[in-house]
């Protein structure tokens, strides 16, 4: 039977279809978030089902997670994104001990116990500092497409120090760096280092290895290396890092269906 996980994030919507008997992902999809969230979720879900020749009647259980999980009206239940990211990462990387998830509007550091359950976590959801939104604001100010931000940062010789992590004040600081003719790659690299330092500060102490990096920001080149420098240890990027929350929700759905 098929179980589904839907991660209605702040910036994107993700759907994963899972074969409960084999544990294999049989379909997935992603779309941008928008004002008509319920309609967007429904459209993406139906499209992913159609691609696999399936209908809703073939789906045994649906779990929603993420920022907009309560807007997924057809879900059977909801599960927090903390739990779902932990499940998704542990399924992909069974030895994972720490999960760092940096999404569009928040960032999370999740500690797992020996059985892969959430031991504790820290979350930044009150400020755009340390999130994908911060990267987007800076990229726009630098006139650099977000897709090219990492490549720009990789050209840096001396990353610029970014002392203010509030987006508003950091933007003012960046304007000052531009006025001082600071090279764009140095500003971009400095921003990546500042985001990594903010996330490392959430840990409060040395994090347990292995560390797995998820979320849309994990796809930005250079962020993995910035986190490694800030944490002082290796960081692995999860396979298909944007989909781990939806995968975890699908795994939760399979567990509930099999109970």
Q: What's the pLDDT tens digit per position in 128-185?
A: 566 778 888 888 888 999 889 999 999 999 999 887 666 566 778 888 898 999 999 9
Residue-level pLDDT at 136 = 85
- C-beta separation of 118 from 79 below 8 A: no
Surface-to-core class of residue 228, CB atoms within 10 Å of its CB (0-12 exposed, 13-18 middle, 19+ buried): middle
Residue 254 sits at φ, ψ, to 5 deg, of -65, -40
- Mean model confidence pLDDT for the chain: 91
The full set of domains in the chain, from first to last, is: 2-88+242-258 (3.30.420.40), 95-237 (3.30.420.40)
Residue 101 sits at φ, ψ, to 5 deg, of -115, 120
The proportion of the chain whose per-residue pLDDT surpasses 90, expressed as a percent, equals 69
Q: Collect all residues with Cβ–Cβ distance below 8 Å to 42 and sequence separation of at least 6.
A: 74
Q: Average pLDDT of 197-212?
A: 86
Residue 30 has pLDDT above 70, yes or no: yes
Q: Average pLDDT of 208-214?
A: 96
- pTM as predicted: 0.91
């Amino acid at each position: 039977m098929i179980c589904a996980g839907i991660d209605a994030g702040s910036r994107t919507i993700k759907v994963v279809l899972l074969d409960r008997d084999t544990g294999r992902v049989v379909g997935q999809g992603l779309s941008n978030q928008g004002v008509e969230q319920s309609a967007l979720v429904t459209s993406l879900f139906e499209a992913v089902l159609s691609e696999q020749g399936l209908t809703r009647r073939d789906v045994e259980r649906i779990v929603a997670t993420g920022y907009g999980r309560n807007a997924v009206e057809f879900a059977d239940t909801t599960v927090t994104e903390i739990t779902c990211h932990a499940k998704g990462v542990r399924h992909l990387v069974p030895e994972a001990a720490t999960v760092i998830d940096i999404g569009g509007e928040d960032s999370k550091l999740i500690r797992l116990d020996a059985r892969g359950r959430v031991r504790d976590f820290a979350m930044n959801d009150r400020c755009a500092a340390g999130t994908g939104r911060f990267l987007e604001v800076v990229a726009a100010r630098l006139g650099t497409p977000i897709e090219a931000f990492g490549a720009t940062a990789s050209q840096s010789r001396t990353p610029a120090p970014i002392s203010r992590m509030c987006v508003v004040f950091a933007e003012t600081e960046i304007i000052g760096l531009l006025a001082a003719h600071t090279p764009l790659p140095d500003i971009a690299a400095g921003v990546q280092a500042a985001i990594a330092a903010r996330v490392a500060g959430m840990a409060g102490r040395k994090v347990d290895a292995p560390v797995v990096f998820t979320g849309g920001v994990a796809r930005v080149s250079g962020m993995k290396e910035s986190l490694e420098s800030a944490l002082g240890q290796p960081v692995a990027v999860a396979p298909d890092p944007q989909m781990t929350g939806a995968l975890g929700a699908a795994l939760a759905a399979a567990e509930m269906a099999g109970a």
